[in-house]
A and B are shown apart, each in its own frame.
Chain A
Amino acid sequence: MATATGIYHTNYRQDLALRQTRADWVRLALLVLFVVVAPFVASPYWLTILNLVGIAAIGAIGLNILTGFTGLISLGQGAFLAVGAYTSGILVARLHWPTPLAIVAAVLLTGVVGAVIGLPAVRLKGLYLAIATLAAQVMIIYLVRTWDVVTGGVDSLVVPRPEVFGTTIRSDFIWYWVILAFVVVATLAALNLFRTGLGRAFVAIRDQDIAADVIGVTVWKYKLWSFAISSGFVGLAGALLAHYRSIVTWERFTIDVSITYLAMIIVGGLGSVAGSIYGAAFMTVLPALIQRAGQAIRDVLPGLSQQLPAVQLGVFGLVIILFLIFEPRGLARIWERIRDYFRLWPFRY
């Protein structure tokens, strides 16, 4: 494909557009094609994986807003997911709210909880904040396990299948389109956020908080906003997870989940919306692939398949270490480099 010598905008509106070149549009078209065709060709197993990727992507975008863009490390991701999942689940299962309304309520409530949990961030940053959010993670999960009357405690909460316009959403195939719609909305919202002053203020706090204060960004207020917005996204992911899985148990929201989400945004690319999606896909598909590989070699190496969980953890750790060493900016940067290579070909730069 012929490439132009550069991008020549004639007004600021064009400069603000998300897609600026024909190549951008072609890539988008290919992506749309893939997304539309995928559910028709995927096996039920992979369709489930795709759905989980979509939910994880929304959660990872949320965490990236907080950690990647605002520079506030959070180990409370699992707890925020739990708040979203339990809120939506309880509203539907016990109070018989319509599912869409329950999801909206879950997003708002998780946002509020996020802002409250974010209060220590007003004074703390870095590792100290990580510890404060870890405390929140432990406390919220403890609350979920012990507040029997509301959450059902250690017993799982069964959420009825959502009913929209009189039809029950049951199949993975329909779920795929529902989740896809949410992913598209969440992605666009996050991209838009960082095209405007609000998102820029977050990045300013990450890069240089004193300078941000001096140019008029009220740092504490924007840190809390970041927590609230981030948690809103995570709450949405939690609510979707509750309705998709129709069972909510505290075991799905432990500290491991928080770490896995951090791994997603590190592997995908900190401070990149697209990277959050790459990371979510990578971290959801990788265990599935390892499992498949384990089953395939079960007969050849019977000892290994028993060690599969350990292998999985080992590979996870290895992948994160390799990314930190070789490409700290993650899959998003690798993709950029591939794109630039073809854009500039046959020249080096």
Chain B
Amino acid sequence: MPDAGTLCVGTLALGVSRAYRFNLNGSRLEAGERQLAIEDIRLAFGGVQALRGVTDEVRQGEIHAIIGPNGAGKTSLLNCISGLYRPQQGSIRFFDGDRDHELTKAAPSSTARWGIARTFQNIELFQHMTVLENLMLGRHVHMHHRLWRSLLFVGPAREQEIGQRELVEEVIDFLEIQAVRSKPVGSLAYGFQKRVELGRALAMQPALLLLDEPMAGMNAEEKEDMARYILDVNQLAGITVILIEHDMGVVMDISDSVSVLDFGELVASGSPDEVSQHPKVIEAYLGEAAAR
């Protein structure tokens, strides 16, 4: 059970303040402490070198953007962090107070248990389940699953469902998806599905949130909404966000630090301003002539 004592107060733009009972941030670190240390990651698929010795660092409480042209290895890096890919070389260490984890040899279900949540570039929701069920699945790692209790339902299983539902309802409130709560996800509009996927990740009370192109295929208004939710997640809940995004305006506006990948190599890393001035970044995006 999440610690119900933590009070997290969100102040909305309208001046209405709302008190949330649950702290969605699962990290035990203080803001600014090193949370993720990626060291010399090499990943190859046969002859294709997807990542060629990437070294990077992410601190607790920041929005860290990973940018780069198509095929640069951004999603591959995210997949290494969440345990979907096993890099041939290098290490990814995930710090969580007294507990540190090595992510390169971990299964995705283990990284999830340690507090790493993610969304996918192409929405990977459970299409036939309702929004509520999808979010409840986000609570999976925080629940105890006992066969006899499940079959019996009345008693501990029901209490657990109701207890977890309270946190999930806060996430639903946070993302303003109350109206579609009991709709099957497959029937929802694309923008809503993206939001539900963010909600499922948030319901995990993550220490680190990986977002793979959360704004792909959205119009300007939807992008603004999504940017607002990401900022809220980061600033109100204090969750570290690693973000892959192609919209440079969004990246430069909301991120605290940016890493640039090109052909599997880290070409630049730093604040948005530093990165946008970096000659190698200009070369990667606009070509050699522009860099000169």
**Chain A residues packing against B (C-beta within 8 Å):** 12-13, 15-16, 189, 192-193, 195-201, 203-204, 206-208, 210-219, 225, 229, 271
What residue of chain A has the Cβ atom nearest to residue B201's Cβ?
Answer: A215
A225-B147 in contact (CB<8A): yes
Which 3 pairs across A and B sit closest by C-beta, in order of nearness?
A216-B112, A192-B153, A216-B141
Q: B162 within 8 Å of A by Cβ?
A: yes
A207-B128 in contact (CB<8A): yes
A215-B141 in contact (CB<8A): yes
Q: Specify which of B129, B133, B160, B162 is in contact with A13 (CB 8 Å cutoff).
A: B162
Instruction: Looking at the assembled complex, report how far the CB atom of A343 sits from the nearest CB atom of chain B, in whole angstroms.
Output: 16
**Chain B residues packing against A (C-beta within 8 Å):** 82-84, 107-109, 112-113, 117-118, 120, 124-129, 133, 136-141, 143, 145-147, 149-153, 157-158, 160-162, 164-166, 200-201, 204
A211-B139 in contact (CB<8A): no
Q: Specify which of A196, A208, A210, A215 is in contact with B153 (CB 8 Å cutoff).
A: A196
What residue of chain B has the Cβ atom nearest to residue A7's Cβ?
Answer: B182
A215-B150 in contact (CB<8A): no
User: What chain B residues lie within 8 Å of A189 (beta carbons)?
Assistant: 151-152
User: What chain B residues lie within 8 Å of A215 (beta carbons)?
Assistant: 112, 117, 137-138, 140-141, 200-201, 204
Q: Specify which of B133, B139, B151, B162 is in contact with A192 (CB 8 Å cutoff).
A: B151
Give Cα distance in the complex from A212 to B152, angstroms. Answer: 24
Give Cα distance in the complex from A218 to B141, angstroms. Answer: 10
B150-A193 in contact (CB<8A): yes
Q: Assuming the A-B contacts A192-B153, A196-B150, A225-B147, are A214 and B112 also in contact, with contact meaning beta carbons closer than 8 angstroms in the complex?
A: yes
Give Cα distance in the complex from A266 to B127, angstroms. Answer: 20
Give Cα distance in the complex from A204 to B108, angstroms. Answer: 15
A204-B145 in contact (CB<8A): no
A13-B158 in contact (CB<8A): yes
Q: Assuming the A-B contacts A208-B124, A214-B82, A215-B141, are A199 and B204 also in contact, with contact meaning beta carbons closer than 8 angstroms in the complex?
A: no
Q: Assuming the A-B contacts A12-B165, A198-B145, A214-B118, are A204 and B139 also in contact, with contact meaning beta carbons closer than 8 angstroms in the complex?
A: no
Give Cα distance in the complex from A225 to B200, angstroms. Answer: 24
- Helix, strand, loop or mixed for chain B's interface? helix
A204-B151 in contact (CB<8A): no
A189, A214, A217 pick with most chain B CB within 10 angstroms: A214
B128-A217 in contact (CB<8A): no
Instruction: Looking at the assembled complex, report how far the CB atom of A261 sits from the nearest CB atom of chain B, in whole angstroms.
Output: 21
Knowing that A197-B161, A198-B147 touch, tell me 5 more A-B residue pairs with CB under 8 angstroms. A196-B161, A199-B150, A214-B118, A218-B107, A229-B147
A13, A198, A206, A271 pick with most chain B CB within 10 angstroms: A198
Give Cα distance in the complex from A151 to B155, angstroms. Answer: 41
Q: Specify which of A16, A200, A203, A214 is in contact with B162 (CB 8 Å cutoff).
A: A16
Give Cα distance in the complex from A339 to B152, angstroms. Answer: 28
B162-A201 in contact (CB<8A): no
Give Cα distance in the complex from A271 to B204, angstroms. Answer: 26
A216-B109 in contact (CB<8A): yes
Give Cα distance in the complex from A204 to B128, angstroms. Answer: 9
Instruction: Looking at the assembled complex, report how far the CB atom of A196 sits from the nearest CB atom of chain B, in whole angstroms.
Output: 4
Q: Assuming the A-B contacts A196-B153, A198-B145, are A210 and B124 also in contact, with contact meaning beta carbons closer than 8 angstroms in the complex?
A: yes
A214-B158 in contact (CB<8A): no
What residue of chain B has the Cβ atom nearest to residue A186's Cβ?
Answer: B151
User: What chain B residues lie within 8 Å of A200 (beta carbons)?
Assistant: 129, 133, 136-137, 140
B109-A197 in contact (CB<8A): no
Give Cα distance in the complex from A213 to B129, angstroms. Answer: 16
Q: Assuming the A-B contacts A12-B165, A192-B153, A195-B161, are A201 and B109 also in contact, with contact meaning beta carbons closer than 8 angstroms in the complex?
A: no
User: What chain B residues lie within 8 Å of A201 (beta carbons)?
Assistant: 137, 140, 145
Give Cα distance in the complex from A13 to B166, angstroms. Answer: 12
